[in-house]
Amino acid sequence: MSRLTGGLIDRSAALSFTFDGRTYQGHPGDTLASALLANDVRLMGRSFKYHRPRGVFSAGSEEPNALVQLRRGARQEPNTRATVAELFDGLHATSQNRVGTLAFDLMAVNDLVAPVLAAGFYYKTFMWPRAFWEKLYEPVIRRAAGLGRLSQLPDPDAYDTGFLHADLLVIGGGAAGLAAALTAARSGARVILADEDFRLGGRLLAERDPLEMPVPDWIAALEAEFASLPNLRVMRRTTIWGTFDHGVHGAVERVSDHLADPGGRVRQTLWRITAKRTILASGATERHIPFADNDRPGIMLSGALRAYANRWAVTPAAHVAIFTNSEEGHRTARDLAAKGVGIAAVIDARPDVPKTEYRTLHGHVTGSRGRLGLRSVQVTAAGRHEWVDCGALGVAGGWNPNIQIASHHRGRPVWDEAAQTFLAGPGGPVGLTVAGAAAGQGSTAQALASGARAAVAALADLGIAAQLPALPVAEDQAPDATPLWHVPGKGRAWVDFQNDVTVKDIALAHQENMRPVEHLKRWTTLGMATDQGKTANVTAIAVMSELTGQPIAATGTTVFRPPYTPVALSVLGGGDTGPQFRPRRLTPTHSWAEAQGAAFTEVGPWMRAQYFPRPGEATWRDSVDREVLAVRAGVGVCDVTTLGKIDVQGADAGAFLDRVYANAMASLKVGMVRYGLMLREDGFVWDDGTCARLAETQYVVTTTTANAGTIYRHMEFCRQCLWPDLDVQLISTTDAWAQLAVAGPRARDLMSRIVDGVDLSNAGFPFMACASLTVCGGLRARLFRISFSGELAYEIAVPARHGAALMARLVEAGADLGATPYGTEALGVLRIEKGHAAGNELNGQTTAQMLGLGRMVNPKKDSIGAVMSRRAGMVADRRVLVGLVPVDPAHSVVAGSHLFAEGAVQDTDHDQGWITSACHSPHLGSAIGLGFLEDGAARMGEVIIAANPLQGQQTALRVTSPHFIDPDGGRLRD
Amino acid sequence: MLIPHPLLGLRDASEFTYLGDAALLDRPDGMAPDAAARFHDYVHLRDNPAGLHRELWFHEQGDRSWLVVTRNTLTHEILGAELARDVKTGGAA
């Protein structure tokens, strides 16, 4: 055990966990990383490309190396950073990205062939032979690359989405964030404080006595005050992962990731936080100093060593060395020495090394030894080498402010020559200010003061007066600023640990002219791993600047995109999976159809009855054929509520519809219905439907189910944006009226039984008539004599709540007439047999002329799309809608097949059209289809070939009229 | 994104459906002799400014107003929003 004294862990309780099958003990307050170090486990993973042994490198969310798989079974989660995984009893963790054991990874052979795998090797190596890419290279690379593995099982956990609003959002709960939140909350403003850690305090928890009083005491007092302020919401375990326009932030709260089982709770919540002002107090990440073989387990950031000792009371080794270019390294040495850890040496790169109570050497670390963990480091000074034995090395190269979120919009980081760091530049998110170490205010005193000042300024912007609070006396040692970017030498010196990018790779990119930072990134994959280069990018830019001889400011910088740290797709989905994936709309007859045993199908967001199986029917075709024949022979009833209905009222309703529809509507007589064709402004057909004039100033128009929303939007556009001078009002009534189609030769008999006192004879209520009336003894209704099936047919609309009752009444009242409910399949067969166009034909690529409706586009008036429909190219299209039947009745017709003349070469140049719709026609006893065919009207009787290369089908079809039944229309008119 | 609806105040952009350039308000007369050329421009040609852009948004999950929103395409700053009806008729009602 490598436990030290003190720390913020609860030693009164023991937590048991496993890593790679072995059981260990830790305490509440531990992370997986601190608990593994306490159990003398230094080897935690393998690197991405070379499979080098790797240990923990940091003590926070920037961790590049210690990526593990957490949990098992369906809850298995790959690529989790051990440094932020809160320990719980029963935690099951395994190492990843290895073949064999972690200590003996067979893929480590990659390290021996490293020269082949240098920067850009993907681009150079796998170019030829071309066919090898898909069959050989890609599968092999895919297997070798990637880190952890997904469970491939459905996620058993629940997720949630929430919305929060605040005057001020404070990102980060360290010294600056706490001071900002305290200042703002005392003013009465609505404040949210979010921190990714499970304990507030940030870097304060990692230092020895940064305040005049013990840190836990100060934070406990703050938390007590926070709890008394209802205007402040403190969100622990919450990462702000992105900032979006106008003060909208994405946040993930890990509600129960620290529990073995979420129980009844959600696992994570996706919060959308809208804040008027934001303070980014996200701290800083320590820089390392690349030197030869600097990636062995045991080599880590100096500040991380300090954090493990002070917060978690643990050291990775009994004897440690420090490599530093500033006072930072000595701070670590003193903190560790105070806890009884042996200081093998501090290697200080500065020429004037301070006098210390431990061994301090001037020089550089130039190498390391130890296969699975550090044993010694090589120190070089003035050309002389010395090996220093140590089990861990802390590297202190200065600090990089965490400004990622400040550049999620346009703002680019700018190089600050005095501070020798990148700081947030202009053009960042409006309303966001940066405070504390993230703003280069790195001492504890600076951080506290800058947080409080930022809060006062942000609230003053909103007209809220806040007072600077009394803050504790604090450590005020600002980091000094003479960076040492890397130690020159022959060995491989890692810059980006997670993606295995070395100083040599950057030199190679420079040599190959991949010098701009964006090219460097793509050539070497620098910063493209799951850690997004938090410990690598700035160092890499500095190394490139050295190679080009340009200052860093001229070399460039990278901007950042969300997410700040990895976010699981499952929480972004917010639990909207399966039936919750999108809202489902149910028709008024849904429960009635369910009771009849109907099969349902999704039609956009609607669930519609597809067919109504009966006992003895073996397949869906049996049911559909029966329903179709019942309509043709007797009468059928179908719920057609899903078609869009728009009520159009006003003195100018007719004039308005004249401009919206290609054909005339103002001339329609009251009490009559007309088929309506709508074009897009570019002249192609958009939608069709019926237009019924119920009164002088009232029309009801219908749209296809799919376009109900878009056509309503378009008509509102026409009303408000194009012709606001017209006196017309629109409202969508799709959901208000249940509408049922009643079709078949006995439809009039059936309707006569339910309609109250209206003459339905052909003279009294002819084809295309409409009326407001009552049914079933007083229920208000609208009746339309329109047909989609080619039969005598009506559509009857009643208030939606009576839809199911009306359906039941019709089927019951028509039992002796053979009244049969039918679903969307039969509806489709009936309309194909009649040659009616539907969605398959109105696919956005067809013209009125192709549909045989060219003459409907009225040349005497201006309407949407009329002008463009007369374009020469569109008028020249010779394809028209035809019917198609197989020459051999045993053959089927496949929609999507393309049409060719017999014997023609089957390529684009000879393509003569395509099949849009196909079905089996029980009326004809064979397959039939509709399609667009060049000069189709002149080719009746000709045999053509339908080619379906996807399934290797070549079918001979005979061209016919698209009206397979009743071409003269006698059935629906009589 | 938040859009300042002239009647309803700040509303989330997810309540709206975007259409595009507010130049669509100026539909040519389809009966004019040069209608073909003018519709060609109206349907196909759009400016794509880096900066201020007047554009149409429909408050579909709200009061179903069409708005003309002035937005800076570089910064996403929204400088104002008017009812399209008011813009078309030349002033607030």
Q: To the nearest whole angstrom, how far is the Cα of B8 from the nearest Cα of chain A?
A: 17
CA distance B60 to chain A (A): 8
B59: nearest CA partner in chain A: A713
- For residues A392 and A297, the answer to whether their CB atoms sit within 8 Å is no
- pLDDT reading at A883 higher than 70: yes
Please indicate if any CB of chain A lies within 8 Å of the CB of B31: yes
**Chain B: residue nearest A719 by CA?**
B85
- The residues facing A883 across adjacent strands are A930, A960
In contact, B60 and B70? CB cutoff 8 Å: no
Integer Cα distance of A279 and A243 in angstroms: 12
CA distances from A123 to A116, A126, A568 (A): 12, 7, 30
Query: Domain spanning B2-89: which CATH class is it, in words?
Result: alpha beta
Helix A175-186 with A215-227: angle, nearest 10 deg: 30
Q: Which residue of B has its CA nearest to A682?
A: B43
Flag whether pLDDT at B92 surpasses 60.
no
Does B85 contact A717 at a Cβ distance shorter than 8 Å?
no
**Cβ <8 Å between A724 and B25:** no
Average pLDDT over residues A853-859: 93
CATH annotation of A878-973: 2.40.30.110
CA dihedral sign of residues A154, A160, A161, A166: negative
Distance, in Å, from the CA atom of A694 to the CA atom of A771, rounded to the nearest integer, reads 6
Q: Are strands A238-244 and A685-695 parallel, antiparallel or unpaired?
A: unpaired
B75 contacts in chain A (CB < 8 Å): 409-410, 427, 430
pLDDT tens figures, B26-80: 999 999 999 999 999 999 999 999 999 999 999 999 999 999 999 999 999 999 9
- Tell if the CB–CB gap between B83 and A247 is shorter than 8 Å: no
Q: Does the beta carbon of B39 lie under 8 angstroms from any beta carbon of chain A? A: yes
**Any CB–CB contact under 8 A between B62 and chain A?**
no
| Interface contact flag, B30 A862, Cβ < 8 Å | yes
Touching check for A720 and chain B: CB below 8 Å? yes
Yes or no, beta carbons of B76 and A245 under 8 Å apart? yes
pLDDT given at position A96 = 87
* pLDDT at site A298: 97
For the segment A620-642, the average pLDDT, to the nearest whole number, is 98
**What was the pLDDT predicted at A129?**
67
pLDDT at A55: 95
Kindly state the DSSP code that residue B13 receives in the 8-state scheme.
G
Which CATH superfamily includes the segment(s) A317-396? FAD/NAD(P)-binding domain (3.50.50.60)
A430 touches chain B (CB under 8 A): yes
pLDDT at residue A101, as a whole number: 81
Does the pLDDT value for residue A73 go beyond 60? yes
**What's the gap in Å between the CA of A732 and the closest CA on chain B?**
11
Q: Given the structure tokens 């040349």, which residue do they identify?
A: A859
Buried residues in A180-210 as b, exposed as e (16+ CB within 10 A):
bbbbbbbbbbbbbbbbbbebbbbbbbbbbeb
Q: Say which of A427, A724, A868 has its CB closest to residue B39.
A: A868
* Span of A141-145, A206-210, A326-330, A344-348 with lowest mean pLDDT: A141-145
Choice among A552-556, A665-669, A756-760, A802-806 with the minimum mean pLDDT: A552-556
pLDDT of residue B93 exceeding 60, the answer is no
CB contact under 8 Å between B1 and A244, yes or no, is yes
Cα–Cα nearest to A481, from A513, A523, A507, A443: A443
Which residues of chain B does A432 touch, with a Cβ-Cβ cutoff of 8 Å?
none
Residue B23 at interface with chain A, using a CB cutoff of 8 Å: no
Burial A962-971 (b: 16+ CB within 10 A, else e): bebbbeeeeb
Q: Which of A350-354, A443-447, A612-616 has the lowest mean pLDDT?
A: A350-354
Boundaries of every domain in chain A: 1-152, 159-284+401-461, 317-396, 484-558, 585-642+736-831, 644-732, 878-973
Q: Which residues pair with A729 in a beta bridge?
A: A649
* One-character DSSP codes across A152-198: -S-----EEEEEEEEEEEEE--SHHHHHHHHHHHHTT--EEEE-SSS
DSSP A352: S
Q: Which helix (H) or strand (E) holds A26?
A: strand A22-26
| Predicted confidence (pLDDT) at residue A780 exceeds the cutoff of 90 | yes
Q: What is the full DSSP assignment across A437-470?
A: GGGT--SHHHHHHHHHHHHHHHHHHTT---PPPP
CATH of A585-642+736-831, one of 3.20.20.70, 3.40.50.150, 3.30.70.2190, 3.30.1360.120: 3.30.1360.120
Say whether A408 sits in a helix, a strand or coil: coil
For the cut 80, the answer to whether the pLDDT of residue A112 exceeds it is no
Listing DSSP states for A608-659 in one string gives EEEE---TT--SHHHHHHHHHHHHHHS-EEEE-TTSEEEEEESTTHHHHHHH
Q: Would strands A67-70 and A91-94 be described as parallel, antiparallel, or unpaired?
A: antiparallel
**Structure confidence at residue A103 as a pLDDT band (50, 70, 90):** confident
Taking one residue from A and the other from B, the number of pairs with CB-CB distance under 8 angstroms is: 72
Could you report how far apart the first and last alpha carbons of chain A are, in Å?
A: 96
A470 touching B, CB under 8 A? no
Are B85 and A725 an interchain contact pair (Cβ–Cβ within 8 Å)? no
- CB within 8 Å: A720 and B89: no
Contact criterion met (CB < 8 Å) for B56 and A409? no
Query: Does position A891 have pLDDT exceeding 70, yes or no?
Result: yes
**In this model, does residue A955 exceed pLDDT 50?**
yes
Residue with tokens 């008999």: A749
Is B46 part of the contact surface with chain A (CB cutoff 8 Å)?
no
| Domain boundaries defined on chain B | 2-89
* pLDDT of the residue at A174: 98
DSSP string, A698-713: EEEEEE-STTHHHHHH
C-alpha span between A776 and A114 (Å, rounded): 85
**Residues β-bridged to residue A821:** A637
Q: Does domain A484-558 have CATH number 2.60.40.3670?
A: no
Kindly give the residue spans of alpha helices, DSSP state H, lying in A757-903.
Answer: 803-813, 824-834, 866-869, 872-875
**CATH superfamily label, A159-284+401-461:** FAD/NAD(P)-binding domain (3.50.50.60)
Separation CA A820–CA A634 (nearest Å): 8
Into which CATH architecture does domain A1-152 fall?
Roll (3.10)
The minimal CB distance from B17 to the residues A248, A713, A724 is found for A713
Percent of chain B exceeding pLDDT 90 equals: 96
* Nearest one of A684, A648, A644 to A864, comparing CA atoms: A684
Are domains A159-284+401-461 and A317-396 of this chain identical in fold? yes
Calculate how close chain B gets to A432, using CA atoms only, in Å.
14
B2 CB within 8 Å of a chain A CB: yes
Measure B24 CA to nearest chain A CA, in Å.
Answer: 8
CA torsion A584-A588-A594-A599 (nearest 10°) is -60
DSSP label of A354? P
Listed in sequence order, the residues at least 6 apart from A194 whose beta carbon sits closer than 8 Å to its beta carbon are: A169, A170, A171, A172, A173, A235, A238, A239, A240, A251, A273
Tell me whether B91 touches chain A (CB under 8 Å). no
Q: Where are the beta strands (DSSP E) in A290-416?
A: 299-301, 319-324, 342-348, 360-362, 364-369, 376-381, 384-389, 392-396, 399-401, 414-416
Confidence at A123, pLDDT banded by 50, 70, 90:
low
Least Cα distance to A856 among A715, A661, A681, A714 occurs for A661
Residue ranges of the alpha helices (H) in A63-168? 109-112, 121-125, 132, 138-144
Reported ipTM: 0.98
Residues 6+ apart with CB under 8 A from A530: A67, A79, A147, A498, A566
Q: Residue A44 and residue A16: Cα distance in Å, rounded?
A: 18
Q: Report the residue from A716, A721, A871 with minimal CB separation from B88.
A: A721
A540 burial (CB, 10 Å; 0-12 / 13-18 / 19+) is: buried
| Predicted local confidence at residue A97, as pLDDT | 79
Cβ contact B43–A713 (<8 Å): no
Please name the residue that has the structure tokens 């070497």.
A524
Angle between helices A327-338 and A302-310 (to 10 degrees): 30
Residue A359 in this model has a pLDDT that exceeds 70: yes
Give A50's pLDDT tier (boundaries 50, 70, 90). Answer: confident
Closest by alpha carbon to A498, among A842, A847, A52?
A52
State the DSSP H helix or E strand holding residue A524, giving kind and residue range, or none if neither: helix A517-524
Tell me the average pLDDT across A489-495. 94
Q: Report the helix count and the strand count for chain A, using DSSP H and E.
A: 25, 48
What's the whole-number mean pLDDT along residues A914-933?
97
Q: Is A724 on the interface with B (CB under 8 A)?
A: yes
Residue A366 near residue A379, CB atoms below 8 Å: yes
CB contact under 8 A, B56 and A717: yes
Average pLDDT, chain A: 94
CATH of domain A644-732: 3.30.70.1400
What pLDDT score does A314 carry? Answer: 98
H-run or E-run covering A50: none
DSSP letter for A115, please. G
Supply the DSSP symbol for A147.
Answer: S
Q: Which residues pair with A399 in a beta bridge?
A: A286
Mean pLDDT of the region A702-727: 97
Percent helix, strand and coil across chain B, each rounded to 5? 25, 35, 40
A33 membership: H or E segment, kind and range: helix A32-38
Give the up-direction half-sphere exposure of residue A688: CA atoms within 13 A in the CB hemisphere.
24
- Cα of A529 to nearest chain B Cα, Å: 28
Report CB contact under 8 Å: B27, A725.
no
Q: Is the CB of residue A892 less than 8 Å from the CB of residue A955?
A: yes
Residue A330 to residue A394: CA distance in whole angstroms: 10
CA distance A660 to B58: 18
For A880, other C-beta atoms within 10 Å of its C-beta total: 22
Structure tokens at A219: 């934070």
Mean pLDDT of the region A580-597 = 95
Q: Average pLDDT in the A536-555 region?
A: 93
Helix/strand/coil (H/E/C) assignment for every residue in A783-818 = EECCCCCCCCEEEEEEEHHHHHHHHHHHHHHCHHHC
Cα A658 to Cα A667: distance, rounded to the nearest angstrom: 9
Q: If pLDDT is split at 50, 70 and 90, which confidence band does A109 have?
A: confident
Residue A454, class by beta-carbon neighbours within 10 Å (0-12 exposed, 13-18 middle, 19+ buried)? buried
Best to test chain B binding among A721, A732, A863, A868 (most B CBs inside 10 Å)? A721
CB A320 within 8 A of CB A336: yes
Which contiguous run of DSSP H or E holds residue A695? strand A685-695
